């Protein structure tokens, strides 16, 4: 979504980094370039102006305290990073859980914004944390909305309170109220209420949403908005803020290729944090919104923290501990390990999405787009056709063994050869990293993956996410944990 903005930032900073000593005129120039980039990305004018003003004055203040041009450029880069984090809302905010469960979450937004899809994603998110969510079907307007929610609920094994068929039949306020009462009686600790939108902002919709709000007194009202609609997202948000009021924003369709201005304007203009981001139609395409990680992506530094979190989720504890130990002890990375990694990667989702989180990914957009996901399946088939001994000791792979593997996996001998060669190169790279050399620029990723360009300079290590405290599934215990 932020591709063109990212390339503007990149161009501005690479020219700044090439200067020997930076002057105030250079700062003006970089600010002008950023200003243009932000406006082209459809960021609201007021937000752009105040952003540039802050970057300029902080940069001018920082200049005299630093000697060399590259240190100065880095300091300005960090100022821009900090200001970007700020306009994206500063800190990530989690859902506030009610002292007395259930925590009631109401979703509001236009029709087609992605509320029903999000209801399912949120329910899955809480279920994975050990909560006991229930969905309430109060969108009785949009054709098929009730049925859609039921299908989603079934897929994630979360109950759906849906006493009315919808499609214009039933009273959404009555359903919402009864849904919350039902959740309380059945000891569900989270209730997610889906409501009806309209194609545009209208009074009837606002009235219905505010009647539901008054009937169920939600702990969180989340305004769901399609990030693809650009500046209109901000206008709609402002109308909902006045008409219904909300506590946080959920941006959907961040996987689209719109210019991203909505994401960069909405927190400042509504004064409400972006809490979740939805990045696709699948139930797993969803995450907490982290302003620092988003800023990092926009500035071309990737999103290593999310990647690490996803890897941790996909690799089971035992296998990641084993890999870590191997790495520390400097043991060989074998094809056996590689197969395990490939299987974990397949669990993490599409390779295109994973690669796009790496530093410098913007520079290889085409390669990522053209990445052939089936390459992983083919690579897996080849490794699976090897004997355990061959996976540990690929050097025993002579001609006849290679021919056997090729016919066993239905691939050509040349493909087996290419995999073994690339694997040896990756193994060498791992050894180099273990010996403290770090990953070389333009490093080769494991076989089957494209080569990455060198990562842009980073002043600081990417921030690692704070360790999540373990959360009890028991709502009472949880309240104690949350407050401790």
Q: How far is the CB of 230 from ligand GDP (least distance, A)?
A: 15
Stretch that binds ligand GDP, among 65-73, 106-114, 267-275, 370-378 (CB under 6 A): 106-114
Peptide bond preceding 102 in cis form (omega within 30 of 0): yes
Q: How far is the CB of 449 from ligand GDP (least distance, A)?
A: 25
Longest dimension (CA), the chain: 75
Residues 118-177 that bind ligand GDP (CB under 6 A): 142, 145
SS3 category, 155: helix
Residue 113 binding ligand GDP, by CB under 6 A: yes
Question: What's the angle, vertex CA 205, arms to CA 212 and CA 174, rounded to 5?
Answer: 30
Residue 115 binding ligand GDP, by CB under 6 A: yes
Q: Which residues of 4-24 are buried (b: 16+ CB within 10 A; e: fewer)?
A: ebbebbbebbeebbeeeebee
Question: For 469, left (φ over 0), alpha (ψ -120 to 50), or beta?
Answer: beta
Residues 185-244 that bind ligand GDP (CB under 6 A): 197
Q: Which of residues 7, 71, 111, 238 is near ligand GDP by CB under 6 A?
A: 111
Stretch that binds ligand GDP, among 86-94, 104-112, 291-299, 326-334 (CB under 6 A): 104-112
Residue 450 binding ligand GDP, by CB under 6 A: no
- Pairing outcome for strands 274-278 and 103-108: unpaired
CA-based nearest residue to 142, from 198, 193, 192: 198
Residue 117 binding ligand GDP, by CB under 6 A: yes
Residue 210 CB: number of other CB atoms within 10 A?
15
Residue 462 binding ligand GDP, by CB under 6 A: no
Residues 4-63 that bind ligand GDP (CB under 6 A): none
Q: Which of residues 116, 132, 296, 310 is near ligand GDP by CB under 6 A?
A: 116
Q: How far apart are CA 178 and CA 165, in angstroms?
A: 15
DSSP states along 98-132: PSSSPEEEEEE--TTSSHHHHHHHHHHHHHHTT--
Q: How far is the CB of 287 from ligand GDP (least distance, A)?
A: 11
DSSP assigned state of 281: S
Q: How far is the CB of 111 from ligand GDP (least distance, A)?
A: 4
Q: Which residues of 443-470 are buried (b: 16+ CB within 10 A; e: fewer)?
A: bbebbbbbebbebbebeeebeeeeeeee
Stretch that binds ligand GDP, among 61-69, 108-116, 334-342, 462-470 (CB under 6 A): 108-116
Residue 119 or 430: the one with the smaller Cβ distance to ligand GDP is 119
From residue 244 to residue 283, the character string flagging contacts with ligand GDP as x (rule: CB under 6 A) and all else as - is: --------xx-x----------------------xxxx--
Q: How far is the CB of 116 from ligand GDP (least distance, A)?
A: 3
Q: Which residues sit at the interface with ligand GDP, rule CB under 6 A?
A: 109, 111-117, 142, 145, 197, 252-253, 255, 278-281, 285
């Amino acid at each position: 979504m932020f591709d063109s903005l990212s390339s503007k930032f990149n161009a501005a900073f690479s020219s700044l980094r090439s200067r020997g000593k930076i002057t105030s005129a250079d700062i003006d120039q970089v600010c002008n370039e950023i200003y243009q980039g932000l406006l082209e990305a459809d960021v609201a004018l007021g937000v752009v102006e105040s952003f540039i003003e802050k970057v300029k004055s902080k940069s001018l203040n920082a200049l005299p305290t630093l000697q060399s041009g590259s240190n100065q450029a880095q300091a300005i880069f960090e100022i821009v990073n900090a200001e970007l984090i700020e306009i994206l809302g500063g800190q990530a905010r989690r859902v506030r859980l009610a002292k007395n469960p259930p925590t009631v979450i109401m979703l509001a937004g236009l029709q087609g914004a992605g509320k029903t899809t999000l209801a399912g994603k949120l329910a899955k998110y809480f279920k994975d944390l050990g909560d006991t969510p229930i969905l309430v079907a109060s969108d009785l307007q949009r054709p098929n909305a009730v049925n859609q929610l039921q299908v989603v609920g079934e897929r994630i094994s979360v109950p759906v309170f849906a006493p009315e068929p919808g499609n214009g039949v039933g009273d959404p306020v009555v359903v919402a109220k009864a849904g919350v009462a039902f959740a309380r009686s059945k000891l569900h600790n989270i209730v997610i209420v889906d409501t009806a939108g309209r194609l545009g902002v209208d009074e009837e919709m606002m009235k219905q949403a505010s009647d539901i709000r008054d009937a169920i007194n939600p702990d969180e009202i989340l305004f769901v908005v399609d990030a693809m609609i650009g500046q209109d997202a901000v206008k709609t948000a402002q109308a909902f803020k006045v008409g219904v009021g909300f506590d946080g924003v959920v941006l959907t369709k961040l996987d689209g290729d719109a210019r991203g201005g909505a994401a960069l304007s909405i927190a400042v203009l509504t004064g409400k944090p972006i809490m979740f981001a939805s990045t696709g139609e699948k139930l797993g395409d969803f995450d907490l919104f982290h302003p620092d990680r988003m800023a990092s992506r926009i500035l071309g530094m990737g999103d290593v923290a999310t990647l690490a979190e996803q890897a941790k989720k996909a690799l089971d504890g035992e296998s990641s501990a084993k890999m870590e130990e191997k790495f520390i002890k400097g043991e060989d990375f074998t094809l056996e390990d590689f197969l395990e990694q490939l299987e974990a990667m397949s669990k993490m989702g599409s390779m295109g999405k994973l690669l796009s989180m790496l530093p410098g990914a913007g520079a290889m957009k085409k390669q990522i787009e053209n990445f052939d996901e089936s390459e992983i399946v083919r690579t897996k088939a080849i490794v699976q056709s090897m004997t355990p001994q061959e996976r540990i000791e690929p050097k025993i792979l002579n001609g006849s063994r290679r021919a056997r593997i090729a016919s066993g996996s239905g691939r050509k001998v040349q493909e087996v050869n290419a995999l073994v060669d690339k694997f040896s190169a990756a193994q060498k790279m791992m050894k180099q990293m273990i010996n403290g050399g770090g990953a070389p620029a333009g490093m080769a990723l494991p076989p089957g993956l494209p080569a990455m360009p060198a990562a842009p300079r980073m002043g600081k290590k990417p921030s690692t996410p704070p360790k999540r405290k373990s959360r009890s599934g028991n709502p009472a215990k949880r309240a104690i944990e949350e407050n401790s």
